[in-house]
């Protein structure tokens, strides 16, 4: 079994609606996303011979997904009033709504699922919220490869 790893990062703000503590306030992070893909067979075509996947494609696909969150305020659907949401957008702020609470755990699952939809056999996705705190998602099977 081969395991490839790539990473990409983004800067964004978020808050945790309904949380009792400092994280209920808007604050920012330099989020770091580490993606691991796996496979048993290497390509045999001339262009990709000896590769599990082309790193150029893997990096490009992860970057496209992650960059959608760069320099934005990430909010859970319904966590801002419609008036505030509209006002922020009118003032030119980038607001990205997600259907989950924007935690490292939920982002790890989200990025895992998005890369799976791109056709990758994802082994795990790790999302660092800070340099020393991260969450990993291993898929439904929970295979810790």
Note the pLDDT tens digit of each residue in 78-111.
999 999 999 999 999 999 999 999 999 999 999 9
Note the pLDDT tens digit of each residue in 22-49.
999 999 999 999 999 999 999 999 998 9
Please report the pLDDT score of residue 142 as a whole number.
67
**Angstrom distance (rounded) from CA 41 to CA 49:** 11
Count the alpha carbons within 13 Å of 52 in the hemisphere toward its beta carbon: 16
pTM: predicted TM-score of the whole model, two decimal places:
0.93
DSSP 3-state assignment of 86? helix
Tell me if 144 sits within 8 A of 91, measured CB to CB: no
> What sign has the CA pseudo-torsion 128, 62, 106, 124?
negative
Look at residues 113, 107, 136 and name the one whose alpha carbon lies nearest to residue 29. 107
Report how far Cα 99 is from the mean position of its chain's Cα atoms: 14
Note the pLDDT tens digit of each residue in 114-141.
999 999 999 999 999 999 999 999 998 7
């Amino acid at each position: 079994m081969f395991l490839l790893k790539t990473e990409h990062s983004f800067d964004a703000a978020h808050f945790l609606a309904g949380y009792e503590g400092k994280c209920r306030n808007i604050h920012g992070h330099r989020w770091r996303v580490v993606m691991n893909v796996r496979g048993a067979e290497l390509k045999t075509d001339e262009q990709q011979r000896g590769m599990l996947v082309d790193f150029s494609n893997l990096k490009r696909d992860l970057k496209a997904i992650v960059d959608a969150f760069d320099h934005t305020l990430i909010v859970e659907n319904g966590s801002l009033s419609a008036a505030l949401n509209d006002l922020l957008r009118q003032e030119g702020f980038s607001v990205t709504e997600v259907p989950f609470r924007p935690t490292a755990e939920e982002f790890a699952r989200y990025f895992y699922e998005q890369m799976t939809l791109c056709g990758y056999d994802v082994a795990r996705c790790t999302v660092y919220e800070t340099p020393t705190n991260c969450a990993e998602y291993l898929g439904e099977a929970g295979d810790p490869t």
